[in-house]
Amino acid sequence: MKKIKAVIKGVSGYVPDYILTNDELSQMVDTSDEWIMTRIGIKERRILKGEGKGTSDMATIAVNNLLQKTNTSPGEVDMLICGVVTPDMKFPATANIISDKTGIKNAFGFDINAGCSSFLYALVTASKFIESGSHKKVIVVGADKMSSITDYTDRSTCPIFGDGAGAVLLEPTEDDFGIIDSILHVDGSGRKYLYQVAGGSVKPASHETVDAKEHFIFQDGRPVFKAAVKDMADVSVEMMKKHNLSPEQLAWFVPHQANMRIIEATAKRMGIKKEQVMINIQKYGNTTSATLPLCLWEWEKKLHKGDNVILATFGAGFTWGSIYLKWGYDAK
């Protein structure tokens, strides 16, 4: 019997309408378009506006579009995993809320929080359920409303993040397409450089934690930058070597969009050209769990059946990893 692999059969995304430009940010904190473009490479990012709107609202739009474009009825979906660090609420899981809002009633699901690697971890997890033969239609979502935990008085973090959601549909195949391999890592000793100080069981929310702005993203940028450059490149090069993939044989590299300098350094180490790299950081910033599916969504028409694709991430935790897949379809 041939081995079952998980193949992506469709991809969808959603970004909110509101565009927060570098010029508008420069009126909020002491920064400039020039600094942000030079140090990070972001021109603008999307922000979800509106009272009572959360991560699941963006994810629901992405999933509804995905169901429609893949001709899938909600009742056919048997699993939904959501990669997210800004869940609608601590519990229940955002996966449950998305399932309810999209009419997915015959599935089980859960959230995965692996910082910016959440979508990649979720995609690998979902692929194992498909490979085992137990699940046939699995939706993997990556969604975050980063503006809900961003301090817009802190110039060292507020230019970086944006809001967005993306989703893919995974199905089984016995053909030579789909997810071929993955490499995942964690190093918990890096947790002190990028985290949310309060709101968990160690430091529950209080007047003091709110006053001290401890519910916002804390990041010590330099050590995160250093580790991201090394680890994302290492894990991508390791994947190429493991599968004897030359730079020319790689159709697309899909990196987490955290900093243009990190993306460029990784591409250089892999020996690939910038034209082989999906980059939309200038438009959306770092949407955390949504960066990879938003890239696949934007590039869907340029992806062809059989294309060799490597995805790679680095995020809070530290977490990092890569996936090697053969793209499964030509978009209509």
Residues of this chain that bind ligand UT7 (CB under 6 A): 31, 35-36, 39-40, 116, 155-156, 159, 221-222, 224-225, 228, 258-259, 262, 286, 314-315
Our CB check for ligand UT7 shows the closer of 157 and 308 to be 157
CB of 254 to ligand UT7, least distance (A): 15
Residues 189, 158, 57, 169, Cα dihedral to 10°: -50
| 3-state secondary structure (DSSP) of residue 278 | coil
CA distance 87 to 72: 25
Residues 6+ apart with CB under 8 A from 109: 79, 80, 81, 82, 93, 95, 96, 99
Which residue is at the shortest CB distance from ligand UT7?
A: 221
CA distance 58 to 5: 29
286 as an active site residue: the answer is: yes
| Min dist. Cβ of residue 218 to ligand UT7 (A) | 12
DSSP class of residue 159? T
Nearer to ligand UT7, 227 or 245 (CB): 227
What is d(CA 120, CA 290) in angstroms, rounded to the nearest whole number?
A: 10
CB of 263 to ligand UT7, least distance (A): 10
Q: Is 243 a catalytic residue?
A: no
Reduced to 3 states, what is the DSSP secondary structure of residue 225?
helix
Residue 27 CB, shortest distance to ligand UT7, in Å, is 13
- If the CB atoms of residues 35 and 152 are measured against ligand UT7, the closer one turns out to be 35
The residues, ordered by sequence, that sit 6+ positions from 177 with a Cβ below 8 Å of its Cβ are 5, 7, 305, 306, 325, 326, 327, 328
Catalytic residue among 256, 259, 295, 308: 256
Q: 22 an active-site residue?
A: no
Identity of the residue, 63 or 228, whose beta carbon is nearer to ligand UT7 in the bound complex = 228
Among residues 64, 96, 259, 286, the one annotated as catalytic is 286
Residues labelled catalytic: 116, 256, 286
